[in-house]
Amino acid sequence: MKNVYILGATGSIGLQTIDVILKHTDKFKVVGISLGFSNKDKHYEIIDSLKPEIVCLREKDLKYEKDFPRVKFVSGDEGLISLVNYPKKGIVVNGISGSAGLVPTVAAIKSKKDIALANKETLVTAGHLIKKLIKEYEVKLIPIDSEHNALMNALIGEDIKNVKSLIITASGGAFRDYNKEELKNVTVKDALKHPNWQMGPKITVDSATMMNKGLEVIEAHYLFDMDYDKIKAVLHKESIVHGIVTFNDGSVKAVLAKPDMRMPILGALSYPKRLESGIEEIDFTNLNLSFYPLSFEKYPLLKAAYDAGKKGGLYPTVLNAANEAAVNLFIKEKISFLEIEEIVIKVLKEFKDNVSNPTLEEIIETDKKIKEEVYSLC
């Protein structure tokens, strides 16, 4: 039995993690969960079905404590830290969205827990620190992000020195067939209609602006110690091929799967073993796969991410924070879709306080400052 902690249990990744675990109750035991403001109607059902020992709420609520006397309740940001510090070994699934996921990841590593990481913002903002911490505390960090999970699988048994390039695929998001003119008047509702994946609102908007792929390029850089020039992103509408590795002898390894996050979630939890997922097999006699280049002109945020990644230091934090705040403003209908990229690019251009190898405190402070700056624009 493996003990599991789920951060963000009420989100898209969280709920799919619960689904996977309830199909393998002989293999996994959920010890702790954090519940968010979303899907509040599911809170009691989740606690009843998983019977966790510790639950973190966003805000203290005495009703929960009365209704579940056997559960230890904690709350807020401090509660998340108590949750990952709970004195039972295990693996922490980080399904929190945004930079709020960083501090709990650091605390979980320091508490010697393995990490199944969906929260890509952790690596985007603090990849250099996380890599050091994983070594120091001797824990495993397994990516849940489908492209990175695919790359990790393709790289098993390989010498990274023989890798020519890492290729991640992008479905293209809600507006893949729109031109710039058509993007001027798109609505939040339009942006939240992803063609292939059911995800939380922030990442769904990021898929439409291609910022998601930009963040994933930075994520891949840290996970696989790969130069940015060797990391490529291509448009692949079908979302069947998730990650591709090309080698110096001309061979190529690709990992294919139906677009269903339960596969990488289960893979991360059971790693290095494989378990039955129940996901339908691919029918290779009825399969069309297409690949196209992604244009920096159409997707300036993809270019901004490469640039920020290459500059390093606090630039990826600035990129991520400006984007998080701008996407939030877009979802609240305060700015238009195209203003997201305008804001992020402007904030990056004006940023002058870079430092190399920033500390966790510097990252947290910059994240906060940049978000405040963007919110003050509206």
**What is the binding site for ligand NAD (CB under 6 A)?**
8, 10-14, 34, 36-38, 80, 95-98, 100, 118-121, 145, 197, 199-201, 203, 261
Cβ distance to ligand NAD smaller for residue 111 or 239: 239
Least distance from ligand NAD to the Cβ atom of residue 14, Å: 5
Cβ distance to ligand NAD smaller for residue 11 or 312: 11
125, interface contact from ligand NAD, Mg ion, none, CB < 5-8 Å by kind: none
Residue 330 has, within 13 A of its CA and on its CB side, a CA count of: 32
Cβ distance to ligand NAD smaller for residue 118 or 268: 118
* Geometric angle at alpha carbon 261, from 256 and 262, rounded to 5°: 105
Cβ distance to ligand NAD smaller for residue 215 or 246: 215
Residue 72 has, within 13 A of its CA and on its CB side, a CA count of: 10
Least distance from Mg ion to the Cβ atom of residue 139, Å: 22
326, interface contact from ligand NAD, Mg ion, none, CB < 5-8 Å by kind: none
Cβ-contact 166, 230 below 8 angstroms: yes
38, interface contact from Mg ion, ligand NAD, none, CB < 5-8 Å by kind: ligand NAD
Q: What residues form DSSP beta bridges with 91? A: 4, 114
Residue 196 has, within 13 A of its CA and on its CB side, a CA count of: 22
8, interface contact from Mg ion, ligand NAD, none, CB < 5-8 Å by kind: ligand NAD
> For ligand NAD, which residue has the nearest CB?
36
Least distance from ligand NAD to the Cβ atom of residue 251, Å: 28
Cβ distance to ligand NAD smaller for residue 120 or 236: 120
Cβ-contact 174, 195 below 8 angstroms: yes
Cβ distance to Mg ion smaller for residue 119 or 277: 119
37, interface contact from ligand NAD, Mg ion, none, CB < 5-8 Å by kind: ligand NAD
Name the 3-class secondary structure at 179. coil
Cβ distance to Mg ion smaller for residue 43 or 236: 236
> For Mg ion, which residue has the nearest CB?
145
312, interface contact from ligand NAD, Mg ion, none, CB < 5-8 Å by kind: none
Question: Taking Cα atoms as reference points, which of 117, 169, 177 lies closest to residue 143?
Answer: 117
At what angle are helices 337-350 and 315-331 packed, to 10 degrees? 150
Residue with tokens 């009843």: 48
Phi, psi of 161 (to 5 degrees): -65, -25
Least distance from ligand NAD to the Cβ atom of residue 334, Å: 19
Cβ distance to ligand NAD smaller for residue 37 or 284: 37
Least distance from ligand NAD to the Cβ atom of residue 287, Å: 22
Q: How far apart are CA 67 and CA 61, in angstroms?
A: 11
Q: How far apart are CA 342 and CA 156, in angstroms?
A: 40
Least distance from ligand NAD to the Cβ atom of residue 98, Å: 6
Least distance from ligand NAD to the Cβ atom of residue 8, Å: 3
119, interface contact from ligand NAD, Mg ion, none, CB < 5-8 Å by kind: ligand NAD
Q: How many other β-carbons are positioned within 10 Å of the β-carbon of residue 276?
A: 8
Residue ranges that bind Mg ion, judged by CB under 5 A: 145-147
52, interface contact from Mg ion, ligand NAD, none, CB < 5-8 Å by kind: none
Report which DSSP code applies to 280. P
The phi-psi region of residue 302 (left if phi > 0; otherwise alpha if psi is between -120 and 50; otherwise beta) is alpha
Residue with tokens 């069309």: 288
Question: Taking Cα atoms as reference points, which of 278, 234, 272, 235 lies closest to residue 257?
Answer: 278
79, interface contact from ligand NAD, Mg ion, none, CB < 5-8 Å by kind: none
Q: How far apart are CA 52 and CA 29, in angstroms?
A: 8
CA distances from residue 132 to 95, 126, 208, 299, 320 in whole angstroms, order as listed: 22, 10, 33, 32, 21
Least distance from Mg ion to the Cβ atom of residue 288, Å: 22
Cβ distance to ligand NAD smaller for residue 93 or 235: 93
